[in-house]
A = this chain, B = another copy of it.
């Protein structure tokens, strides 16, 4: 059920990580202007996606006038073929008239069915919201949406859709910042349920679009406390299910070195921030009485005592995609690591 594609980009080489032929599509490029993409499929499981490999014609099949629809009924929507036998409708050439769209969509679906097409990707920018109910009536389903557009899909063959799923995870970060006086940088958030008022916690937040884990952690610490930091490593991460919007949640806990000392609280979000002696931080009942918080704190203390290895962020460019991505791993080639685990 997985769709495996290459990310689209504008380099000429085929791109891919190689361990996983990650799904990604030229749909990325369709936010503003779709382009014939240079993306190539490296390997796939044979499912259908949205990578563009050639531009479709405007598909004027025949001209006629039926029911006053002028030529609309004879025309299919402008589209691109994808590399999996599917179709990406060109969002820049959508008719604005809903009736014309309805007619063209029907003609298009008939034609695509005859041609043996599989998955249809229909991206409707906000200004074309009147076309949404028409597409839904034709059997299109919502796939995902972002500010500015909704993406609908249609799976022509019999059987379940093989189109890839939408993004599944939120990613959050939290930063342990400790100074040379053994004090942890902590905050109190502005709105707390009564039992948790007074709980001093590490700065946390969500990473932003296309932001690195280490960058996001440094940014959140800075935003909440005004402290500049250098990211050292990820010491652990937590995976939780069924969080916001039924999505899952990955939360990376980092260790950071402070580069400044003066705290400046973000009044919008944070009630208070301070440097708190580690001993006091650990003694807080919220930590002592909670197995998750206790474990994370233990890991942090072990890491400080050099009895724990976190994961370092390494930038590596893969020839498969010519892009720098970040591989997180711990120390290799150390002779005395004893992985007893568990």
Contacts and interface: CB of A to CB of B under 8 A. Distances in A.
Interface of A: 2, 4-5, 7, 14, 16-25, 27-28, 31, 40-47, 84, 126, 129-130, 132-133, 135-137, 141-151, 164-172, 174, 188-193, 195-196, 199, 201-202, 204-213, 220, 233, 235-251, 253, 268-270, 286-287, 289-293, 295-296, 298-299, 302-303, 306-312, 314, 316-321, 323, 325-342
Contact of A18 (B290, B314, B338): B290
Copies of chain A in the complex: 2
Contacts of A251: 17, 19-20, 22
Contact of A292 (B126, B308, B318, B331): B318
Contact of A189 (B28, B45, B270, B331): B45
A8 to B, nearest CB: 9
A41 B292 contact: no
A239 B210 contact: no
Given A21-B189, A150-B145, A196-B16, A28 B165 contact: no
Nearest to A153: B147
Contact of A191 (B41, B147, B201, B333): B41
Contacts of A47: 269
The 5 closest A-B pairs by CB, nearest first: A45-B269, A43-B189, A20-B204, A292-B318, A145-B145
